[in-house]
Amino acid sequence: MRVLVWNEYRHEKEKPDVAEIYPDGIHGAIAGFLQSEQVEVKTATLDEEEHGLTEEILMKTDVLLWWGHVAHEEVHDEIVTRVHKRVLEGMGLIVLHSGHFSKIFKQLMGTTCDLKWRVADEKERLWVVDSSHPIVEGIGEYIELEKEEMYGEHFDIPTPDQLLFISWFEGGEVFRSGCTYQRGKGKIFYFRPGHETYPTYHNPQIQRVIKNAVEWVKPEVNNKSVYGKAEPLETISIKR
């Protein structure tokens, strides 16, 4: 399996407090825990040529992870179209945290993907609401994060195919924090936590969910769909 971790990679270069938590970038941290004998992990970032998302690279990618925040608008539309096409063809996609506002997520969802938010060092508790789903394997009843950004409802998304996590926030809000979708042949998982000023991606349970999700969104079935003009399979009567 070939996994590509894409990161905007701006906060880490501009904010020392973020760089301290993620010295190799958020992509580096995620690539670090995903790497294994079975999984080949590469990374790509916004400021690389074609954002590191050439046709060739995407054709060799089974699962793409996406973290972006302040520079969604800098992602070129034709690259978004390219990624979109690959997802519909079957490439798995995991959209992380502020990636909810990325062009690729909005294009796949068809909605604004807007939400409420607040950065206030508050506690988040992600409750598992579908305990038999492979993405939550090894997670108990919930994940507790001592400090995270709050995302609150209403979250303007289509009804998820499967709702896996609902977050409780200390400040009084709730959020649909783990959502799966299928679009074309591609599986998509949106996972809420991961604000850049908190060490969320160093949390073993968060890592476990992301590892599970990589396995779950990866393309497994290789049936070809047929489209366009089609000859009849049965005789059609002549009508006058």
- What residues from 207 to 236 belong to the interface with its own copies (CB under 8 A)? 219-234, 236
Contact status, residue 94 vs residue 217, Cβ threshold 8 Å: yes
Shortest distance, position 60 Cβ to its own copies, whole Å? 19
Q: Under the criterion CB under 8 A, does residue 101 sit at the interface with its own copies?
A: no
Closest to its own copies by CB, 32 vs 160, is 160
Q: Under the criterion CB under 8 A, does residue 118 sit at the interface with its own copies?
A: yes
Using a 10 angstrom Cβ sphere, with 0-12 exposed, 13-18 middle and 19 or more buried, the burial of residue 132 is exposed
Give the tokens for residue 113. 């993907």
When binding is defined by CB under 8 A, the residue of 57, 137, 199, 207 that contacts its own copies is 137
Q: Under the criterion CB under 8 A, does residue 1 sit at the interface with its own copies?
A: no
Q: Under the criterion CB under 8 A, does residue 147 sit at the interface with its own copies?
A: yes
When binding is defined by CB under 8 A, the residue of 79, 136, 164, 179 that contacts its own copies is 136
Closest to its own copies by CB, 38 vs 235, is 235
Closest to its own copies by CB, 42 vs 125, is 125
Shortest distance, position 193 Cβ to its own copies, whole Å? 15
Query: Tell me, what amino acid is at 212?
Result: N
Shortest distance, position 106 Cβ to its own copies, whole Å? 9
Q: Under the criterion CB under 8 A, does residue 167 sit at the interface with its own copies?
A: yes
Give the tokens for residue 180. 């799966």
Give the tokens for residue 68. 């972006």
* Dihedral Cα 172, 66, 141, 134, nearest 10 deg: 150
Alpha helices in 39-164 (DSSP H): 55-59, 77-89, 103-109
Give the tokens for residue 52. 């590191």
Contacts of 172 (CB under 8 A, 6+ apart): none
Stretch that binds its own copies, among 1-9, 11-19, 64-72, 172-180 (CB under 8 A): 172-180
User: Half-sphere exposure of residue 25, counting CA atoms within 13 Å on the CB side?
Assistant: 17
Q: Under the criterion CB under 8 A, does residue 38 sit at the interface with its own copies?
A: no
